[in-house]
């Protein structure tokens, strides 16, 4: 009986440590993701923020706004109301306004996640694509940023601008 208790206790403790580690590693990667995205935004001259490769693509500005608004939506909806901007940005913010808004969104979402109780990671939430855990929402946030950030790298290259060196960890 004693042995079973210690095994069960050990598994519970290991799970809690794993959840803490997930949040910790997410936050490290999230910060690096923010830094890299800001470097991309800074690399594009403001005169090229209206650039879009084809008529069906978003402009460079619209891609950044989309990333920012998705961070705000997912963070506010699934991790608390926090201090993230709930209002949508206009279609033509300045480069600096957009960069500052991006920083605020990344930092606000990081703050919400840093204060998330690790046991909440397994909590299921309603999502338009079906029920997901909060951990899955965090993974979605990373994937969404990476997807659109990759498009921005292409936008820079199409304008003969060398993107900053990638940092993904």
Q: Which residues are annotated as a binding site for a divalent metal cation?
A: 66, 144, 148
d(CA 141, CA 139) in angstroms, rounded, equals 5
> Which parts are annotated binding residues?
66, 144, 148
Rounded distance between C-alpha atoms, residue 20 and residue 69, angstroms: 27
The Cβ of residue 127 has, within 10 Å, a number of other Cβ atoms equal to 15
């Amino acid at each position: 009986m004693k042995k079973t208790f210690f095994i069960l206790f050990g598994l519970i403790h290991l799970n809690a440590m794993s959840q803490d580690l997930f949040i910790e590693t997410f936050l490290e990667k999230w910060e690096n993701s923010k830094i890299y995205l800001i470097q991309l935004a800074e690399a594009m001259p403001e005169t090229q923020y209206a650039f879009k490769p084809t008529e069906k693509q978003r402009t460079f500005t619209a891609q950044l706004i989309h990333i920012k608004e998705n961070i705000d939506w997912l963070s506010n909806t699934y991790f608390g109301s926090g201090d993230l901007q709930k209002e949508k940005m206009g279609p033509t913010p300045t480069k600096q306004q957009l960069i500052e808004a991006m920083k605020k969104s990344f930092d606000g979402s990081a703050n919400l996640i840093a204060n998330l109780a690790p046991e909440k990671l397994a909590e299921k939430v309603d999502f338009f694509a079906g029920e997901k855990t909060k951990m899955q929402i965090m993974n979605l946030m990373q994937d969404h940023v990476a997807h659109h950030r990759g498009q921005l790298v292409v936008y820079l290259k199409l304008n003969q601008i060398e993107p900053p060196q990638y940092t993904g960890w």
